[in-house]
Structure 1
Amino acid sequence: MIRAVADLAAVEDATDRLLRTAAGLDEAALAAPSRLPGWTRGHVLAHLARNADALNDVLHGRPMYPSDQARDDAIAHGAGRPPAEHLADLRDSSARFLATARALDEAGWERPVTLRNGVTDRAAGLPFRRWVEVELHRIDLDAGPTVADLPGAFLDRAVDYLAARYTGHPDLPAVELRAEDGRSWRTGATGGEPRRVVGTPAALVGWLSGRTPGSGLTSAEPLPTPPAL
């Protein structure tokens, strides 16, 4: 519970940075492509707002999204709004999620929740999931911030999170991730001799999250392409 509360403070800080980045985007910039295929910067901001509301719904015991189509339609509908509407929506939706989460007691944090695609977690895991969304999609805006700008506290946790997410994934061969300070993680297929991939936490997170092609990493074999998040 203590970590979840600290993560909420980190989400609030990350959201403030996101809002400052988004505030520099005019209508033309919002309509321009983001780093995500098929999405403008407006799509990214609309997604972030709807994700905050979806996590708020989960904390209230409701489905994360009515359907995948409803999720996609909401993002598409909101993508073309003026900058001021994007900023207000992002600020308000984040505030709703934070208020609901901060009202949880210890039992509430321990409650199991169901996310998109049947993924399950404890409520205490949602603040970090939101933190991941905010930090990575701020990069996807392609408006200045890069993986190198991510906070160190986030990067250390994000390597753990992404390694666990891909453990046993059929589309990623066995990989041993090794940070330059000696820490290591195993991910991908559970069988076979893992290939070793070495680099800073920023480089590892950039590659695992699909935000870089593996810049700054070393490996004796060609780097595989991690599955989409």
Structure 2
Amino acid sequence: MNKTAAYMPADLNRLERETGMLLATVESLSEDEMRAPSLCEGWTRAHVVAHMIGLAGGLGNLVTWAVTGTETPMYSCPEDRDAQIEDLAKMSAAELKQELREATAGFQALAGQLRNTKLATEEVSLPSGPFNAYAIPALWTTEVLVHHNDLDTLWKLDEGDMDALEDALELAMAKLSKRDDWPGLTVITDEGENYTIGDGATTLKGGRDAIIGWVTRGLTDGLRYEGELPERPKYA
């Protein structure tokens, strides 16, 4: 994703909007609702919230890396990240809500530094490889959109900001293009984007929200295609 400092005001505004909507949904969940299954296989809603808490800290580390030039990985190791999610998911709903409020506020404060700071480095590293530091806010907003939908409440992806959905789609397509286990796809969105993955054998059409919903979780609402959908590997 080719982002620069010029994108920061708009990207940070979208970050604030989508984060606020996520927080509102999480605040509405009762203790029993927090323990209900999410759209993430094997995870409750509490696990999803716990993941977002950890992700806020992890992406905050990347902002620190970009601003200071001191290498600061997202997580010490995948095992520690997974253990943190399991530990946090055991907390009460009230505790999880407080942790999420604090984590997101901390990340937003750090992300704001990308607006005014000449970065020590404009490239950091994700587990998948190098990443543009100016795209960190868009990455967070993408995760917020996908995992807000994972909570399986009345909120749906089509309520997301259209430009935020555009970024989310671009990041998803970039991820798929680096993998050799995904079927060939031609993706044509109602908003005008066109992507080809592999040999482009299966054509998918729909709004950005519909494409993101299928790619990330296999949802077919609003998706248009001919024949049978190909097997969809797990999106991670």
TM-score by length of 2: 0.86
Say which SS state the counterpart of residue 171 (structure 2) adopts: helix
> Of the candidates 217, 224, 228, which is equivalent to residue 222 of structure 1?
228
- Determine the C-alpha separation between the residues in 1 that align with 2:192 and 2:154: 30
Alignment of structure 1 residues 58-97 onto 2, 5 Å: 58-61=62-65, 62-97=72-107
Partner deviation per Cα, 1:49-80 (whole Å, 9 max, x = no partner): 11001111122231111111100111110112
Deviations 1:65-117 (A, max 9, x none): 111110011111011212222122111111111111212345318521112x2
Give the CA deviation at 1:156: 2.4
**Of the candidates 112, 117, 125, which is equivalent to residue 114 of structure 1?**
125
32 and 109 in structure 1: CA distance in 2 versus 1, 3 angstrom threshold: farther
Kept after mapping to 1: 8 A contact 2:142/2:167: no
**Residues 1:20 and 1:123: Cα distance change in structure 2 (over 3 Å):** same
1:24 equivalenced with 2:28 (yes/no)? yes
The amino acid that maps onto 1:112 is E
Equivalent of residue 101 in structure 1, options 105, 111, 122: 111
Q: Which amino acid in structure 1 is aligned with residue 222 of structure 2?
A: G
Give 2:60's aligned residue.
56
1:201 Cα deviation after fit? 1.8
Coordinate RMSD, CA, aligned: 1.9
Tell me which residue corresponds to 1:130: 140
Partner of residue 173, structure 1: 183
Q: Matches of 1:144 and 1:5 in 2, distance apart?
A: 29
98-107 or 129-138, larger mean C-alpha shift: 98-107
What CA distance in whole angstroms lies between the structure 1 residues aligned with 2:17 and 2:120?
21
Segments of structure 2 that go 5 or more residues without pairing to the other structure are: 66-71
1:148-187 matches, within 5 Å, as 148-180=158-190, 182-187=192-197
* CA pair 147-103 structure 1, distance change in 2 beyond 3 A: closer
Structure 1 stretches lacking a partner, 5+ long: none
Contact 2:62 2:73 in 1 (8 A): yes
Match of 1:6 in 2: 10
Q: Rate the CA distance shift 1:168–1:43 in 2: closer, same or farther, 3 A.
A: closer
- The alpha carbon displacement at 1:118 in A equals 4.3
Distance 1:195 1:34, change over 3 A: closer
Stretch moving more, 175-184 or 65-74:
175-184
Whether contact under 8 Å (1:180, 1:198) holds in the other structure is yes
1:26 is displaced (CA, Å) by 1.5
2:215 is the counterpart of 1:208: yes
One-letter amino acid of the counterpart of residue 126, structure 1: I
Q: 1:47 aligns to what?
A: 51
CA contact (8 A) 1:63 1:114 kept: yes
Instruction: Kindly provide the amino acid, as one letter, of the partner of residue 63 in structure 2.
Output: L
TM-score by length of 1: 0.89
Distance 1:111 1:154 in 2: 21
The answer to whether the 8 Å contact 2:173/2:195 transfers is yes
Question: What is the CA-CA distance between 1:193 and the residue it aligns to?
Answer: 5.3
User: How many corresponding residue pairs?
Assistant: 224
